[in-house]
A and B are shown apart, each in its own frame.
Chain A
Amino acid sequence: MSGFANVLTVILVSVGLVFFLAGSVGLLRFPDLHSRLHALTKADNLGLGLIALGVAFQIGEPYAIVKLALVWLLAVLAAASVAQLIARSALDRLPAEGQADRQA
């Protein structure tokens, strides 16, 4: 591995980690389920994309890089679908849960 690739990996992975941290902090600090879902799906998947890109600079085989891209696409697809479904199903029970949240 060249020094340049290593520098890129360190930068990309580090920024990715910051997004993961932001996602976790958001998950803990945001006041209700719907805002917490934002933290989860957006920050974490951006973090995953950056880490995948950083790792791609360390892996030589071309088909492994295709797999890295597929991992990220799958994660984004799954997170987007699941977040939408969870948010929608929680909306049906919002009054009761909203109050519980405010008390907590």
Chain B
Amino acid sequence: MSEFLLLAALFLLGTIALGFLRVHWGPSRADRIASAQLVGTGGVAMTLLLAAAGGNSAIIDVGLVLALLAAFAAVAFVKSTSADGAGDPEENDE
């Protein structure tokens, strides 16, 4: 079983590598940061697979922390695109 889980993690690593291309190409900054988010989600999935493969449920905590904090960089980016750098893109909506 653990052999299968490790191969599944390897497969995820492959999908993360595909995501690298979009971080590299862009073209917009939003593309780069959104694909970094994809690596985050893939990384969370990998921690779950590794927790099961190693029979160590403490590894799930790493996934928990990653899932909690992975969005923060994107939030900081979105704030930086607002007019004064401290706002929110939705502020001026009707």
Q: When A and B assemble into the complex, do they touch directly, with CB atoms less than 8 Å apart?
A: yes
Count of interface residues, chain B, beta-carbon cutoff 8 Å: 48
Set A24, A45, A81, A90: member contacting B71, Cβ < 8 A: A81
Q: Which residues of B contact A82 (CB under 8 A)?
A: 34, 37, 71, 74-75, 78
CB–CB B45/A16 < 8 A: yes
Chain A residues within an 8 Å CB radius of B64: 67, 70-71, 74
Contact B27 A104 (CB under 8 A): yes
The B-contacting residues of A in range 66-102, CB under 8 angstroms, are 67-68, 70-71, 74-75, 78-79, 81-83, 85-86, 88-93, 97, 100-101
By the criterion CB–CB under 8 Å, are A68 and B81 in contact?
Answer: no
Chain A interface extent, by class: 35 or more
CB distance from B85 to the nearest CB of A (A): 12
Which residues in B have their C-beta under 8 angstroms from that of A23? 15, 38
A84 to nearest B CB, angstroms?
8
A92 to B51, CA, bound (A): 42
For window 54-72 of chain B, which residues contact chain A by CB distance below 8 Å? 57, 60-61, 63-64, 67-68, 70-71
Q: Which residues of B approach A to under 8 Å, CB–CB?
A: 1, 4-5, 8, 11-12, 15-16, 18-19, 21-22, 27-28, 30-31, 33-35, 37-38, 41-42, 44-45, 48-49, 51-52, 57, 60-61, 63-64, 67-68, 70-71, 74-75, 77-78, 81-82, 88-90, 93
